[in-house]
A and B are shown apart, each in its own frame.
Chain A
Amino acid sequence: MRRVVITGAGTVNALATDVPGTFAAFREGRCAIGPLDIRDKDRLGVGIGAQVQGWTPEAHFNRQQIALYDRFTQFSLHAAREAITQSGLVFEDQLSLTSGVVLGTAGGGVNTWDENYRAVYEEGKNRVHPFVVPRLMNNAAASHISMEWNLRGPTFSVSTACASANHAMGLAFQMVRSGAATVMLTGGSEAMLCFGGIKAWEGLRVMSRTACRPFSLTRDGMVQGEGAGVFVFEDYDHARARGAVILAEVAGFAMTSDAGDIVMPQAAGAERAITGALRDARLNPSDVGYINAHGTGTAANDKTECAAVAHAFGAHADRLMISSTKAMHGHCIGGTGAVELLACLMALNDGVIAPTIGYEEPDPECALDVVPNVARQARVDAVLSNAFAFGGLNAVIALRRV
């Protein structure tokens, strides 16, 4: 079995359109949630979200590309450029053949669906743009990254709602570890802040109309965000041989299914994913200094997640730090685990723990150190990132300093 390391990171999210900017926002505890600026917002009950502001596709892509790239693909490509540039990799010859892409997305080209349904149903048009299908398909982002960077190995997309990115990164890790690939570009992307995308969530009655306040007694729901995170997962020996800067080792991964309810999470399934990731990484619970929580700010997730962590870690649960960065960048759905993995890299490399902002009042059912409101300096050697999806699907990644 090979060791797997991260040698590049990139992102687009509501806090910033690159990793340094996102780290700065994490350190400041900045909130990117604000009034939604989208078509027909007057017909929405939910008026807030974490939108990527000032995104101009023309600044990054030419006209033919924009015709083919949904917003979620644009975010993915931009994040991949940052990650690959940082890694210094050039994909030629054998490396090109053994490198691929696995990206998570829950909805794929939701804006493309939305705009074209509007055209045919609301506006009564009988003709749509010829590229509707290649724009909206879930694998569009993975395919365009592979085309832009000459990645000719295993390339596909994963869709497991809010755990999509963690499942994708877990598979990328397993593929590099097993030798099935030398390098995998991986992470996730989501762009569903359009009328249909928000209206669908609104129907479920779990959205906050005020703010995202994870773990706070006063929390009243989740707030949607959008964005992408893309990472370079590389065979450790390959990275060492070329003198690459290593951001972290991907130490372990586990996934479980609650096999219970389609929306209500269960602590036992989450706990099995956490303990499974520790076992896979050969980490003791006491090795873990920080957990990036799923922490959606819903009543159900936060208490279930805290119960799972408390049970999985025992006495050490009171000594580790756990924070949710969703109160800053919103819930990026299928891309969220990738955006949140950045907080894990910041913790390991910079010794700064991103805070849980919006925290107002302790909840006895979330009695852990949630790093409320202000970032904290702390040296940590191993971290986890949790993602728990509708459908009862749990995916947990363990990283450690090399």
Chain B
Amino acid sequence: MTIRDRVIAIIAEQAVLDVADVADDSTLESLGIDSLGLVESIFAIEEAFDITVPFNANDPSQGGFDLTSVSAIVAGVERLIAERPA
């Protein structure tokens, strides 16, 4: 499974959708994921990839992690994995 596939699987599970219904350009809002669902999705991503996503629910833009679309999240996860200490 690619990173993209795993991120989409996590988001699909959170949104209670089939993975086929989650597109690269989907926004979390369009998938029906609310603020609680967002925090849970980030937690699941962190656990899956052993990374720490900079995210403060008070100001989602603060940490520099782009959450505007599925593809942006995938790109952000790829970057954090690349930066992960060996």
Contacts and interface: CB of A to CB of B under 8 A. Distances in A.
B58 interface: yes
Interface stretch (B4-12, B17-25, B35-43, B75-83): B35-43
A208 B58 contact: yes
A221 B39 CA distance: 15
The bracket for how many chain A residues form the interface is 10 to 19
A262 B34 CA distance: 13
A221 B36 contact: no
Contact of A264 (B35, B43, B52): B35
A219 interface: yes
A203 B39 CA distance: 9
A204 B57 contact: yes
Contact of B59 (A203, A262, A263, A299): A299
Contacts of B35: 264
Interface in B29-57: 35-36, 39, 42-43, 52, 55-57
A43 interface: no
B43 A299 contact: no
B36 A298 contact: no
A263 B37 CA distance: 12
* Chain A interface helix/strand/loop/mixed: loop
Given A263-B36, A264-B35, A220 B43 contact: no
Interface in A191-234: 203-206, 208, 219-221
B36 A299 contact: no
Contact of A299 (B39, B52, B55, B57): B57
Contacts of B42: 205
Given A220-B62, A263-B36, A206 B43 contact: no
A401 B77 CA distance: 58
Contacts of A220: 56, 58-59, 62
A68 B59 CA distance: 42
B35 to A, nearest CB: 7
B39 A204 contact: yes
A221 B55 CA distance: 12
Interface in A277-321: 298-300
A87 B12 CA distance: 60
A264 B35 CA distance: 9
B16 to A, nearest CB: 18
A4 to B, nearest CB: 38
Contacts of B59: 220, 299
B39 A205 contact: yes
A365 B5 CA distance: 40
A221 B43 contact: no
Contact of A219 (B39, B43, B52, B58): B58
Q: Which of A204, A205, A261 has the most CB of B within 10 A?
A: A205
**Which 10 pairs across A and B sit closest by C-beta, in order of nearness?**
A299-B58, A205-B57, A221-B58, A220-B58, A206-B57, A205-B39, A220-B59, A298-B58, A205-B55, A220-B56
5 contacts: A204-B39, A220-B56, A262-B36, A264-B35, A299-B58
Given A221-B56, A263-B36, 14 more contacts: A45-B52, A203-B43, A204-B39, A205-B39, A205-B56, A206-B57, A219-B58, A220-B58, A220-B59, A261-B36, A264-B35, A299-B58, A299-B59, A300-B58
